[in-house]
Chain A
Amino acid sequence: MSEAPRRARIYGWRLGLFVAGIVLWQAASLIKGAAFYISSPSAIWVRERQWLADGTILFHTTITVEETLAGFILGAVAGIAAGFVIGPQRDVGDVLDPFIIALYSIPKVALAPLFIVWFGIGIWMKIILATVTVFFIVFFNTVAGVRNVDPDLVNAVWLMGGSAREILIKVIVPHALSAALTGARIAIPYALIGAVVGELIASNRGIGYLISAAASQFDTAGVFAALIVLTIVATVLNSLVNVLDRRTSRWKVDANLSLRPN
């Protein structure tokens, strides 16, 4: 069997399933009282168009994307820096290990009230929430990268006449950086989660706010409309990750989520 017709069939089924879902949804919304709970595709469509026209979507999406990217960059930079400092110091790492694991184990959303006290309910609270989420992922991967350098690679450079400094620059740093990038790559969607959770908890802007504001007014069409916007943002971020993935997969290292890898 050839691949092209199969693909066409898969796309056909997807389209069919999508249309069937929309139709069913629309039909279900006609049942008396149901529209209050599930709104309807037509009402959501109207809301999306209205929000697009009055700039609501652009405004709130910009805020959320800003928080996500700022949190991602801060978390990744801090994670790489901390990983490079603690990675080579095995004793320091072992002493800190239980504390770091404890901090990592806290559901980040539980920190949100504390961050509100510290940073207010403005954009910084969301950025910090995203930062904390990203930090641990990048940190663990960087530490693993510093520590898991193949001793045979180190020996190879030593045999070529490389000094300790050259071994650091030409072997350990590139290995740790590629591990750090792997961590950063998988952390991107988590940055979005951090930002949106922050917005859901306390905010007056952003996609998370849009969802909770609509829900508090029992505006189901608004909730669904905002969820669709969030889905699109998440999908775009994920495809960004896939592009990064393809560009680094020629030499990338595997991801890691603990201080004591393998």
Chain B
Amino acid sequence: MSALVRLEAVSRVFHRRETELLALDAVALDIERGSFVCLVGPSGCGKSTLLNMIAGLIAPTSGRITNAGTPVDGPRLEVGYLTQKDTLLPWRDVLRNVEMPLEIRKVPAAERERRARQLIEVVGLLGREHAYPRELSGGMARRASLARLLIADPDLLLLDEPFSALDAQLRQEMQNELLRLWGGSGKTVIFVTHDLEEAIALGDRVVVLGGRGRIVRDEQIPLERPRDVVAIRRRPEFHAIEARLWDALAAHYQAEPEAV
């Protein structure tokens, strides 16, 4: 398998008034095409910065990021980014929000609407097409965001703690939904979370990040697919992997308490 996304010695410095903050320090990471990779780490470890750079929203201070062989220098149509916060436009109903990416691509209105309705059905929001974002529950808003993400048919999905605001039950439901939608699609997923269990249940590979994006542990998850995120958590292998990764995280915290 070949790397779709490649990070080479990527660093990023943020300037806050007089002080300089090193958010990422020489991160090197390859993401294989078609894989589901989870990045786990404590808040402030630079995971979101990493995603923002892969998405092309911000540039690295030094180092190189390539996507499909070409340097990332801005947002790309073949990359979809689902942020932690919902960014549905409040003055558009669900249907018109989901249509938005196609509207920007100048897809004719009838075709746009047909595909949007199709995806609204896929994410289970049928009947809520004409609801406005503030009329949706947290879970429904996530589903609408997911539909808007998928309508553009991106090859690479960047998901930044997409389900962290949902309650446990809804989170599991959305996790299964995501796996179902991804399964067999051939799409590459980079999923950022601070929840180790979530990372193991979803990913082909879990990368544990420490302070400044340092890779503490990078492990393949040899659990078969298709998976059910609830059932898989009860498997002994799951617990073994979880214990191993926890130890790595914990050891890292003791070694570098300032990273927390």
Contact = CB atoms under 8 A, between A and B. Distances in A.
Given A152-B85, A251-B134, A157 B91 contact: no
Given A170-B100, A251-B134, A161 B90 contact: no
Contact of B87 (A152, A178, A251): A152
B101 interface: yes
Contacts of A175: 91
B83 A161 contact: no
A1 interface: no
Nearest to A161: B77
A216 B81 CA distance: 71
Interface string B128-150: 00001111000000000000000
A161 B57 CA distance: 11
B83 A156 contact: yes
B89 interface: yes
Interface in A125-157: 150, 152-153, 155-157
A214 to B, nearest CB: 47
Q: Is the interface of B mostly helix, strand, loop or mixed?
A: loop
Contacts of B105: 161
Contact of A152 (B55, B83, B103): B83
Interface string A208-247: 0000000000000000000000000000000000000000
A165 to B, nearest CB: 11
A251 B91 contact: yes
B75 interface: yes
A150 B90 CA distance: 11
A160 B89 contact: no
A250 B104 CA distance: 24
A204 to B, nearest CB: 45
A171 interface: yes
B222 to A, nearest CB: 34
Contacts of B76: 161
A103 B210 CA distance: 56
Contacts of B89: 153, 170-171, 174
Contact of A178 (B83, B85, B91): B91
Contacts of B134: 250-251
Interface residue tally of chain B, by bracket? 20 to 34
A251 B132 contact: yes
Nearest to A249: B134
A177 to B, nearest CB: 8
A94 interface: no
A159 B57 contact: yes
A162 interface: yes
Among A153, A159, A160, the one with the most B-chain Cβ atoms within 10 Å of its Cβ is A159
A251 B87 CA distance: 14
B152 interface: yes
A20 B105 CA distance: 68
Contacts of A156: 83, 87
A78 to B, nearest CB: 23
Nearest to B101: A160
A59 interface: no
Contacts of B103: 170
Interface string A162-183: 1000100011001100100000
Given A152-B83, A152-B85, A160 B91 contact: no
Given A175-B91, A178-B91, A251-B90, A157 B135 contact: no
B100 A160 contact: yes
Interface in B32-91: 55, 57, 75-77, 79-81, 83, 85, 87, 89-91
A170 B101 CA distance: 11
Given A159-B81, A170-B89, 4 more contacts: A157-B104, A159-B55, A171-B89, A178-B91
21 contacts: A152-B87, A155-B57, A158-B75, A160-B101, A161-B75, A161-B104, A162-B104, A170-B89, A170-B100, A170-B103, A171-B89, A174-B89, A174-B91, A175-B91, A250-B132, A250-B134, A251-B90, A251-B91, A251-B132, A251-B134, A253-B90
Interface of B: 55, 57, 75-77, 79-81, 83, 85, 87, 89-91, 100-101, 103-105, 132-135, 152
Rank and list the top 10 A-B pairs by shortest CB-CB distance, nearest first. Answer: A156-B87, A160-B101, A250-B132, A251-B91, A251-B90, A159-B75, A161-B77, A174-B91, A152-B87, A251-B132
